[in-house]
Amino acid sequence: MGSSLSVPTKELGPKHYCADQTDLEVKQIAQHLPWYGPEYSPHDVPNFYDIAGITENPKVFRKVIDIFVNRYKALGDKGPTRIAGFDARGFIFGPPIAAGLQIPFIMIRKVGKLPGVVATSGEYQTEYSTDESSIRIGSVSREDRVVLIDDLIATGGTALAGIRLVEAFGAEITEFAAIVSLPFMDGVKKIHEFDNGKFKDVSCFTLVDSDLIGPEMCANPPAGTPRVLAPEEVEKFLG
């Protein structure tokens, strides 16, 4: 059974929303988002936010899912008919939200992974890579209303690619949502300003601003700790 948990929302600009960062639930979720510096992260970014801090805590994970489920339940008849998750970490949050709403979950996959006939976005830049996304023909139709979900929005490149793809199917976009936002990277602006404002009416909602995740959440091990271990080295490392 889900809860009725919801968090107050603030409007940052037209169609740009975030959870109230002073809300205690939001603060608690932020306390489950450790970050790693470049030496201990898979990418060369100053702060790599690790949503494993949420998924490894069932109560907090549940809260995050409930917040999104209740946000979209509240739309009633106008609520989404599909949740679309981004490869890969949108695949962690999307399915339980879709299951909670009893609607299908669909995959926005990196190119070259899906079977069948696929629509692809073309290449785009993200915070740290060049990617290309795809959706299988048949997973979404022009009758659908779609929420797109990812773990994090930085430059907005990934979100924009997904929005362009879903729009190509003729579906209505209910919202793009992410758990973490890096506000200084202006990802939502990129979405709203694309192609002379073609997606200016796409609602964007994020739960936790990176500003709320302070230095105390740095999870780097002591300097000099090896970054990668072979299986036979693990036992000795653990001591």
- Considering the rule CB under 6 A, would residue 209 count as an interface residue with ligand HSX? no
Reply yes or no on whether 11 is catalytic.
no
25 vs 12: CA distance, rounded Å: 19
Q: Please report how close the Cβ of residue 9 comes to ligand HSX at its closest, in angstroms.
A: 21
| Near ligand HSX in 61-120, by CB under 6 A | 86, 89
- Considering the rule CB under 6 A, would residue 152 count as an interface residue with ligand HSX? yes
Query: Which pair of tokens denotes residue 196?
Result: 């002379």
Q: Please report how close the Cβ of residue 22 comes to ligand HSX at its closest, in angstroms.
A: 25
Query: Which pair of tokens denotes residue 61?
Result: 């994970």
158 vs 110: CA distance, rounded Å: 10
What distance lies between CA 61 and its chain's CA centroid? 14
Kindly indicate which of the ranges 66-74, 155-163, 168-176, 194-202 contains the residues binding ligand HSX, using the contact rule CB under 6 A.
155-163
Closest CA to 89 of 144, 31, 48, 59: 48
Tally of CA atoms within 13 A in the half-sphere of 137 that contains its CB? 5
CB closer to ligand HSX out of 140 and 188: 188
Reply yes or no on whether 164 is catalytic.
no
φ, ψ (nearest 5 deg) of residue 118: -125, 150
> Binding residues for ligand HSX, how many (CB under 6 A)?
15
Which one among 9, 70, 126, 203 touches ligand HSX, defined by CB under 6 A? 126
Residue with tokens 């362009």: 164
Kindly indicate which of the ranges 1-9, 98-106, 133-141, 156-164 contains the residues binding ligand HSX, using the contact rule CB under 6 A.
156-164
Q: Please report how close the Cβ of residue 125 comes to ligand HSX at its closest, in angstroms.
A: 7
Q: Which residue among the candidates 25, 71, 82, 89 is catalytic per the annotation?
A: 89
Q: Please report how close the Cβ of residue 152 comes to ligand HSX at its closest, in angstroms.
A: 4
CB closer to ligand HSX out of 25 and 127: 127
Q: Please report how close the Cβ of residue 231 comes to ligand HSX at its closest, in angstroms.
A: 27
CB closer to ligand HSX out of 92 and 212: 92
CB closer to ligand HSX out of 82 and 89: 89
- Considering the rule CB under 6 A, would residue 157 count as an interface residue with ligand HSX? yes
Which residues are at the interface with ligand HSX (CB under 6 A)?
Answer: 86, 89, 126-127, 150-159, 187
Query: What residues are annotated to the active site?
Result: 89, 123
